[in-house]
Chain A
Amino acid sequence: MPDGAQPVLDVKGLKTVFRTRGGEIHAVNSVSFDLRPGELLGVVGESGSGKSVTMMSLMGLLPSPPADVRAGEVIFEGHDLLKCSDEHLRSVRGAGIGFIFQDPMTSLNPVFTVGFQIMEPLRKHMGMDKAQARKRAQELLELVGIPDAGQRLKDFPHQFSGGMRQRVMIAIALACDPKVLIADEPTTALDVTIQAQIIELVRELRTKLGMAIVWITHDLGVIAGIADRVMVMYGGQIVEQGPVKTVLGNPQHPYTRALLTTVPSVRGARTAKLNTIEGQPPILKAAPVACAFHDRCPQAFDRCARENPARIPVGGGHDVACFWDPATNGARNG
């Protein structure tokens, strides 16, 4: 840890496997990362790269069966969330760690009022009575920028627009002043202007409340705009990790480089076709023994098919899991 701060969330060697009829699918393979207080960690990767599954595994939110968190530790406030009691895990969910999900249209319970759904964690975790919880719920709705908050507490989710519902979700996630907020593609289901509003809101709330945020997305533009640090995932592994400026400015992994070339530029001459990465992300039927990206990688050489690269630090808190070195266009030493 370069700045020496104690991480608020420390994940080591997390492994998640889905048991399906067609065999086991290794969705998360030895993922380790930490999250420092107050930082915004961006997690990027294609669909199916294991971003969401990693974060769900942390909190035991995956349905089991079929999901099985095989190994690892998740240290939050001195407890390992994978081994602690269900009781303790529930006291962390919603109180210590808040969640925002992708689809605000379906993430709220249609038959309960918005007020009830915000008040639920307040009454459970903070031991508030009804009147206190209602007061706090109104404050929260005002905080996330919903006009006429007092009246809207009595409304049902279907009476809110998509963007407003996502604001409600954020209010629920923030209800008990969590230390960590995990946002799982919170803007994917929203249109672009609403997306910008939500990003602006989260940025503002972060300076106001100071919690650490994990922001899962496949939009590199969003990451460049708000994240302090970025983590690139592929095939259920972290392939590159580091401060956002270095990773996006000097990408080390061929996958990160390829991702960056797929972002269309609004300046200069228009390319004839949008750039893509050829091929499909892998479905891992066993724990990886080779680099998961090697069959789509333009730089792959024989070692990539034999051995799964470990994460190698390249300086400045930046690390990469690759045998290839872009500086020399040859094999990396180490």
Chain B
Amino acid sequence: MLTFILRRILTAIPTLLLISLVIFFLVDLAPGSPASEIPLTVPAEVRAKILESMGVNDPVYVRYGLWLKQFVWVEPLNLFDHFFGTTFAEGQQRIISYQTRSPVFDMIVQRIPQTMTVIGTAYLIGIMIALPIGIYSAYRQYSWFDQAGTFFAMVGFSVPTFFTGVLLIVIFSVKLGWFPSIYDTTLKVEDWESFLKQARQMALPVTVLALFNAASISRYMRSSVLDNLGQDYVRTARAKGMSERTVLLGHVLRNSLIPVVTVIALGIPSIFGGAIITEQVFKVNGLGAALIGAIHANDLPMVQTLTFIFATLIVTFNLIADILYGILDPRIRYV
């Protein structure tokens, strides 16, 4: 198992290098100047100096090499310093955003909590809704519950989140006035009242995303449980006199979770990257919003860094899914 993980991590390195190369050069090809944010009143020679100081005029391979070094070496050192109070990274150039002239990672660290609370909660709630629905739909196949579940999944999956998001805003914020339509990032949870406020502002985005996630996961769960309910070992368990509860939640569930856990693990990177649209709709100031903002402002380092982080997450969770698969299924042993 350990050698398997090590081997996978080692093979991930060339993959990630290739991805970083593609991302960096593709983003670099995009038209537009990083100077577009600088007011036009700034004289041309000053503007040129600013660009010079940003390192924009260096050849692309120099910038790539520098960026890569900063990403894999300087920024982790900074993180280490941040946690342990050391000064290893002192004086080293960090990845600087064109927009804010501050380190890209500082901005990312600011944005992560919003994304994690809103999108992460939505994903968790989505899974918690989806698994029971999937299991029960399969157990009572073609019952009204199953039909309703199918309908719900179809709607949840086919209606885009920017539509359901706006719809919920119209109904619950504009007409009924129950929930705010804008997420207040500055809100700090200190007491019961601010907690309620936080819960209220999270309600709509979390609902939209949870429904969307639950729709697809419940389908996977249903088909996986259905698959297993027809297996011979289920009949064996019943012939042993096991209760339906034990059969379903013991024998069938453990087997059904094997493929679904993979799907769930592979979906986690999308918590960070995939909720861009929902973050926009509800003005959640998260990573997705940061990416969109950076694209608008031609902030290449920010876009490159964020995209590469998403890519790294996808590769990482692929590995985690494989490991989970091996833990859940005794037939799979990695050597």
Q: Do A and B bind each other?
A: yes
Cβ < 8 Å to B, chain A residues 143-201: 156, 158, 169, 172-173
Known A-B contacts A92-B241, A94-B241, A125-B241; A169 and B331 likewise in contact (beta carbons under 8 Å):
no
A95 to B241 alpha-carbon distance, docked (Å):
7
Cβ < 8 Å to A, chain B residues 239-274: 239-243, 246, 251, 254-255, 258
The residue of chain B having its C-beta at the shortest distance from the C-beta of A90 within the complex is B241
> With a CB–CB cut-off of 8 A, which chain B residues contact A101?
232, 235-236, 239
> With a CB–CB cut-off of 8 A, which chain B residues contact A156?
330-331
> With a CB–CB cut-off of 8 A, which chain B residues contact A172?
236, 240
Cβ < 8 Å to B, chain A residues 59-103: 59, 61, 90-95, 98-99, 101, 103
A61 to B247 alpha-carbon distance, docked (Å):
13
Q: 0/1 per residue, A114-126, Cβ < 8 Å to B?
A: 0000001100110
When the two chains form their complex, are residues A94 and B240 in contact, meaning their CB atoms are under 8 A apart? yes
A132 within 8 A of B: no
When the two chains form their complex, are residues A158 and B331 in contact, meaning their CB atoms are under 8 A apart? yes
Known A-B contacts A101-B232, A101-B235; A110 and B241 likewise in contact (beta carbons under 8 Å):
no
**Chain B interface residue bracket vs A:** 20 to 34
> With a CB–CB cut-off of 8 A, which chain B residues contact A91?
241
B328 within 8 A of A: yes
> With a CB–CB cut-off of 8 A, which chain A residues contact B237?
109, 120
Is the contact region of chain B dominated by helix, strand, or loop, or is it mixed? helix
B233 within 8 A of A: yes
Known A-B contacts A101-B232, A103-B232, A106-B233; A111 and B255 likewise in contact (beta carbons under 8 Å):
yes
Q: Which of B232, B243, B255, B328 interacts with A107 by CB under 8 Å?
A: B232
A110 to B329 alpha-carbon distance, docked (Å):
8
A106 to B236 alpha-carbon distance, docked (Å):
10
B53 within 8 A of A: no
CB distance from A250 to the nearest CB of B (A): 36
When the two chains form their complex, are residues B240 and A121 in contact, meaning their CB atoms are under 8 A apart? yes
> With a CB–CB cut-off of 8 A, which chain A residues contact B243?
90
A125 to B246 alpha-carbon distance, docked (Å):
14
Q: Which of B232, B240, B251 interacts with A106 by CB under 8 Å?
A: B232
Known A-B contacts A156-B331, A158-B330, A158-B331; A108 and B233 likewise in contact (beta carbons under 8 Å):
yes
When the two chains form their complex, are residues A107 and B240 in contact, meaning their CB atoms are under 8 A apart? no
When the two chains form their complex, are residues A61 and B330 in contact, meaning their CB atoms are under 8 A apart? no
The residue of chain B having its C-beta at the shortest distance from the C-beta of A173 within the complex is B239
Q: Which of B239, B241, B246, B328 interacts with A111 by CB under 8 Å?
A: B328
When the two chains form their complex, are residues B254 and A111 in contact, meaning their CB atoms are under 8 A apart? yes
When the two chains form their complex, are residues A109 and B251 in contact, meaning their CB atoms are under 8 A apart? yes
When the two chains form their complex, are residues A121 and B233 in contact, meaning their CB atoms are under 8 A apart? no
B231 within 8 A of A: yes
B238 within 8 A of A: yes
A112 within 8 A of B: yes
Q: Which of B242, B328, B330 interacts with A120 by CB under 8 Å?
A: B242
A172 to B106 alpha-carbon distance, docked (Å):
61
CB distance from A216 to the nearest CB of B (A): 14
A19 to B259 alpha-carbon distance, docked (Å):
32
Interface centre among B236, B239, B246 (most CB of A within 10 A): B239
> With a CB–CB cut-off of 8 A, which chain A residues contact B241?
90-95, 121, 124-125
When the two chains form their complex, are residues B233 and A109 in contact, meaning their CB atoms are under 8 A apart? yes
When the two chains form their complex, are residues B233 and A107 in contact, meaning their CB atoms are under 8 A apart? yes
CB distance from A54 to the nearest CB of B (A): 15
The residue of chain A having its C-beta at the shortest distance from the C-beta of B234 within the complex is A109
When the two chains form their complex, are residues B329 and A93 in contact, meaning their CB atoms are under 8 A apart? no
CB distance from A159 to the nearest CB of B (A): 9
CB distance from A122 to the nearest CB of B (A): 10
When the two chains form their complex, are residues B232 and A99 in contact, meaning their CB atoms are under 8 A apart? no
CB distance from B228 to the nearest CB of A (A): 9
Given contacts A93-B238, A94-B239, 14 further A-B contacts (CB under 8 A): A61-B238, A90-B242, A94-B240, A99-B236, A107-B232, A109-B233, A109-B236, A109-B254, A109-B255, A111-B330, A120-B246, A156-B330, A172-B240, A173-B239
The 8 closest A-B pairs by CB, nearest first: A94-B241, A94-B240, A99-B239, A93-B241, A106-B232, A109-B233, A156-B330, A121-B240
**A positions within 8 Å CB-CB of B:** 59, 61, 90-95, 98-99, 101, 103, 106-112, 120-121, 124-125, 156, 158, 169, 172-173
